[in-house]
Amino acid sequence: MSKSLLCPCEDVTSSEVEHAISKGFCDIESVKRFTGFGTGMCQGKQCLNAVARLLEEKSPKKPTPAQLMPFTPRPPLFPTEYGYWASASFDPERAPSGGVPAGIELGPDSLRPAGPVKSKAKIVIIGGGIMGLALAWNLTEQGETDVVVIEKGYLCAGASGRNGGGIRAQWGTPTLISLAQRSIELMKRFARDMSINVWFRQGGYLFLAKSDEVVKKIERGAALHNQHGVPTQIITADAAREIVPQLTMKGVRAAAWNPKDAVIFPWPFMWGYAQQAQKRGVQVETFTDVKGFELSSGKITKVITDRGEIACETVVLAAGAWSPEIAKLAGVHLPNEPHRHEICSSEPLKPFLGPLVSVLDSGLYFSQSMRGEIVGGMGDPREGAALNLGSTSRFLTRYSQALTEQLPQTGRVKILRQWSGPYDVTPDNSPILGKTPKLENLLQMSGFVGHGFMMAPAVAERMAKWMATGESDELFERFTLSRFAEGRMEREDMIIG
Amino acid sequence: MPRISPVETTVTIELDGDQLQAREGEPVACAILANDQLIFSRSAKYHRPRGPFCMTGACAHCLMRVDGIPNVATCRVPVKAGMRLERQNALPDARIDLLRANDFVFRDWFNHHEFMAGWPIAEHVLLKIARQLSGLGVLPEKAAEHRQPAIIEEHELVVVGAGAAGLAAVRQLTTRGVPHVLFERDPHVGGRLTSGAEKGQPAPWNAPARVGAEVVGLFADDGKPFLAVVEQERLHLVFYQRLLLTVGGHAMLPTFPNNDLPGVMAGRAVSTLIRRHGVLPGKRVACVGELDEARSLAELVKGAGGEAIAIGAEVVRAHGLRSVNAVTVKPNEKLGCDIIATCGPPSPAFELARCAGAEVVWNPSSRCFEVVADNRGQTANPALFVAGEMRGPMSSSAAAEQGLAAADALAGAAR
């Protein structure tokens, strides 16, 4: 057929971009995510200008020049083989710092909508990531629709739009195991509930263990999983190679295998929750920033944004790694720290990799997306606390060395793009949920380290019920902010990435 | 035969089992075009046929499997005797691909968000099919050998891009005795001066440069900026004190129905093929778009023994099922042709500059994103200078003037 292509790499036509504009996606980053333009082999070189021109012509609100901004350029400039990055070296003892591009703005002022936010709402949720949006939708399920969600950037701007999309039940505590199991159930039927595809694929999770200590950890984990109905098995290196024949299993002594774990495509979760919540009356305000709070007798009475004030009864803080900054505006100290986690994606390959594979000793993880890219990362134990979203060459080198060790055929596969997102790290790796001491109507919903995305559907379901019915739920008693002052830690040690 | 003059010595390369004659060292894409083959690949979703568009490695139209390595831009790889090339992502074959059915089923576009979303059973089938159809190339069969360790270099001043702006800059830097190093990703210097079609273009001149050295990224680990450069199959990490970027732009794809058909090529791709490689990719070439470039290109086409039509016309649509066979131009004239060469300025290549901290803005008159700099080329990052087409559309003479001004500013600051 005679299509007009805007992005030939990903076969995005001009009709498709016009459809996205008609759905209200009017900035380049959002249109990129919704249509997939600029995410292919050329990374926008051929299409970005053409999309900007179309936006200029077709947007209902004609964008000013300042509102047209290219999406963040990231290394590499041209697709470059893992083998090249692996050929560099790095100092494992040194803490990484710096990164490019300099000055990444997730919510530039020029994109702020003109009109004011509504002046009064029962519940204000701060943070339009998966936590906040899932909570908003679940509140509507409980009959609560007088809700405003405030998001500083576009939907998907924060960690919810930057993660690898892995979901697993292989956790180290019964609470997280059961939350993850429920989330997996909810994600499985998300497309049906929300009318949007999320490409849920149950390829399993294969954890590889190199040291004695880690072998013991996965053995303990498997016993716990089995008690809770998760079919994790401890298998030999040879048996793991039957699942992924290309793996060298170099230095690997055993593996934990749960075929029921899965990967999903993260972005449609935000759109699905937001669209369905909006249909029921929830307001989702993007490119809107919280500037402060009005407090009166131990309560928040108003949320002050850069688009006006909202008088409210309850405030939920679900801003992930940005939560401590916002809590500070209400005089509340959160112990969470933001830690950059870098990630990258390869050129699209025909499917060969079923599960998400992770080397628990190093934090390396990788899986193959529904588009065929190898998406993976590896946490840096030296990474300090900072809200840094830059990309480094150190990461490419560490990751490429670790990946090519286990999967040497990728040595001549090319990296297309790297990016990063913040882990929202708490002192015990467990979330902060429930009421805030001395500020009753501020509810916490953050501190999910690197696994908030996969926990969100289940946590939001319980939180909405707890908020709407007032029935007690141990989740909001165990994981309170006050536990840190009380010295009551809830340690979780199955953190990867 | 698309070769403008006969080639004396050729080597044999293999494309999907067919033997082709090629000139050693020319880009693989060029050799394939010279063998009258226009279909190189099939597109990701609709399996539309594709052939070379930009000839600069900035699109995905000419990707093939080359000697067992997937998704290689054949316009960037030199021909070697015995090379094995395979078209990818097609069933059974990229020339007749049954999966093209997608293109007819989804006439306008495919709504991947909502298609079959939540339909019981159907969504599982969709998932299985979508996964099997995903991806372009196949994982290499063999484990890769380790590359030689990366080389670390440090330089006072690095210039990237040996087109008009870069060459003018280094000529001035040399005159003024400022030490520098120039990187160029092509195997030769000149950029547009040796490959473009431009009215009143200055004659090319030479300069010492590290050619075939592709800058693949700009980083600032630990706050110290450096370039990642791939040169002779080895990674170099090139630290610099100051950087002058003169990297030009990327060919823009104009929007019209069938704009992706094999045979639709950037004007500069066609002039590159004629001027650098002696290949005229089709007999009848519609030289459409920006008038000055179109006229100059038409001269090149005629000089190569071809026929130039629709000079400077505005395209309404391209026609053809597997490759271009006609073009409709404004007001409403359908003309038979083999190639549609779309003339016009490229979109500025701002990526490296933005990574280095320069500001990038939308220019409503050129309708392009451009790197912001003062009249000497200095950007928001005082150690970063830019010149030439990455600052917006301009002639190569104007680009050379900007390169000169930037060099003077850099030389002044060096004293």
pLDDT category of residue B120 using cuts at 50, 70 and 90? confident
- pLDDT tens readout for residues A147-176: 999 999 999 999 999 999 999 999 999 999
Whether B226 and B352 map to the same domain: the answer is: yes
Residues with Cβ within 8 Å of A34's Cβ and at least 6 positions away in sequence, in order, are A20, A23, A25, A267, A271, B113
Please give the pLDDT value at position B414.
59
Q: What is the mean pLDDT of residues A353-363?
A: 97
CB contact under 8 A, A4 and B148: no
Whether B223 and B321 map to the same domain: the answer is: no
From the list A10, A102, A191, which residue is nearest B117 (CB)? A191
pLDDT greater than 80 at residue B1: no
Cβ A32 vs Cβ A48: under 8 Å: no
Tell me which CATH code domain A5-71 carries. Answer: 1.10.10.1100
- pLDDT tens readout for residues B53-103: 999 999 999 999 999 999 999 999 999 999 999 999 998 888 889 899 889
Please give the pLDDT value at position A109.
92
Query: How many residue pairs from chains A and B have C-beta atoms closer than 8 A?
Result: 306
B279 located within any domain = yes
Q: What is the mean pLDDT of residues A360-380?
A: 96
CB-CB neighbors (< 8 A) of A6 in chain B: 253, 255
Q: What is the CATH number of the domain that holds B35?
A: 3.10.20.440
**Domain of B75?**
11-133
Tell me, which fold does domain A115-162+267-336+428-486 have in CATH? Answer: FAD/NAD(P)-binding domain (3.50.50)
Q: For chain A, say whether B40 makes contact (Cβ under 8 Å).
A: no
Q: At what angle do helices B164-175 and B396-414 cross, to 10 degrees?
A: 30
CB-CB neighbors (< 8 A) of B218 in chain A: 75, 77, 100
Please give the pLDDT value at position A497.
63
pLDDT greater than 60 at residue B415: no
CB-CB neighbors (< 8 A) of B131 in chain A: 201, 351, 370
Question: Chain B: residue nearest A101 by CA?
Answer: B355
Residues with Cβ within 8 Å of A245's Cβ and at least 6 positions away in sequence, in order, are none
Question: Chain B: residue nearest A4 by CA?
Answer: B257
CB contact under 8 A, B219 and A393: yes
The region that residue A327 occupies, defined by phi over 0 for left and psi between -120 and 50 for alpha, beta otherwise, is alpha
pLDDT greater than 80 at residue B413: no
> Pick from B316, B343, B370: which residue ends a domain?
B343
Residue % of chain A over a pLDDT of 70: 100
Q: What is the mean pLDDT of residues A96-108?
A: 90
3-state secondary structure chain A: CCCCEEECCCCEEHHHHHHHHHCCCCCHHHHHHHHCCCCCCCCCCCCHHHHHHHHHHHCCCCCCHHHCCCCCCCCCCCCEEHHHHHCCCCCCCCCCCECECCCCCCCCHHHCCCCCCCCEEEEEEECCCHHHHHHHHHHHHCCCCCEEEECCCCCCCCHHHCCCCEECCCCCCHHHHHHHHHHHHHHHCHHHHHCCCCCCECCCEEEEECCHHHHHHHHHHHHHHHHCCCCCEEECHHHHHHHCCCCCCCCCCEEEEECCCEECCCHHHHHHHHHHHHHCCCEEECCCCEEEEEEECCEEEEEEEECEEEEEEEEEECCHHHHHHHHHHCCCCCCCEEEEEEEEEECCECCCCCCEEEECCCCEEEEECCCCCEEEEECCCCCCECCCCCECHHHHHHHHHHHHHHCHHHHHCEEEEEEEEEEEECCCCCCEEEEECCEEEEEEEECCECCHHHHHHHHHHHHHHHHHHCCCCCHHHHCCCHHHHHCCCCCCCCCCC
Q: Measured at the alpha carbon of residue B359, what is the angle toward residues B356 and B363, in degrees to the nearest 5?
A: 140
- pLDDT tens readout for residues A221-267: 999 999 999 999 999 999 999 999 999 999 999 999 999 999 999 99
Q: What is the mean pLDDT of residues A337-364?
A: 97
Whether B294 and B380 map to the same domain: the answer is: no
Whether B336 and B363 map to the same domain: the answer is: no
The CA-to-CA distance between both ends of chain A, in Å, stands at: 44
Q: For chain A, say whether B53 makes contact (Cβ under 8 Å).
A: yes
Whether B292 and B236 map to the same domain: the answer is: no
From the list A1, A86, A98, which residue is nearest B104 (CB)? A1
Q: How far is A11 from chain B (nearest CA, A)?
A: 6
Of B65, B222, B372, which to mutate for an interface test with A (greatest number of A Cβ within 10 Å)?
B222
Whether B25 and B100 map to the same domain: the answer is: yes
pLDDT greater than 60 at residue B144: yes
Please give the pLDDT value at position B387.
98
CB-CB neighbors (< 8 A) of A100 in chain B: 218-220, 355-356
Q: For chain A, say whether B350 makes contact (Cβ under 8 Å).
A: yes
What does the alpha-carbon distance between residue B266 and residue B209 come to, in Å, rounded to a whole number? 26
pLDDT greater than 70 at residue A30: yes
Whether B317 and B357 map to the same domain: the answer is: no
User: What are the residue ranges spanned by the domains of chain A?
Assistant: 5-71, 115-162+267-336+428-486
Whether B21 and B169 map to the same domain: the answer is: no
Q: What is the mean pLDDT of residues A481-492?
A: 91
Whether B197 and B285 map to the same domain: the answer is: no
Question: Chain B: residue nearest A247 by CA?
Answer: B143
- pLDDT tens readout for residues A34-78: 999 999 999 999 999 999 999 999 998 889 998 999 999 999 999
Please give the pLDDT value at position A492.
82
pLDDT greater than 70 at residue A467: yes
Look at chain B and report how many structural domains it folds into.
3
Q: What is the mean pLDDT of residues B339-354?
A: 98
Measured in degrees and rounded to the nearest 5, phi and psi for residue A314 equal: -135, 140
Please give the pLDDT value at position A62.
87
Q: For chain A, say whether B58 makes contact (Cβ under 8 Å).
A: yes
Q: What is the mean pLDDT of residues B303-328?
A: 97
CB-CB neighbors (< 8 A) of A191 in chain B: 117-118, 123
CB-CB neighbors (< 8 A) of A350 in chain B: 134-139
Q: What is the CATH number of the domain that holds B270?
A: 3.50.50.60
CB contact under 8 A, A46 and B253: yes
What ipTM does the predicted assembly reach?
Answer: 0.96
Question: Chain B: residue nearest A18 by CA?
Answer: B109
CB-CB neighbors (< 8 A) of B110 in chain A: 11
B337 located within any domain = yes
Burial class (CB in 10 A: 0-12, 13-18, 19+), B239: middle
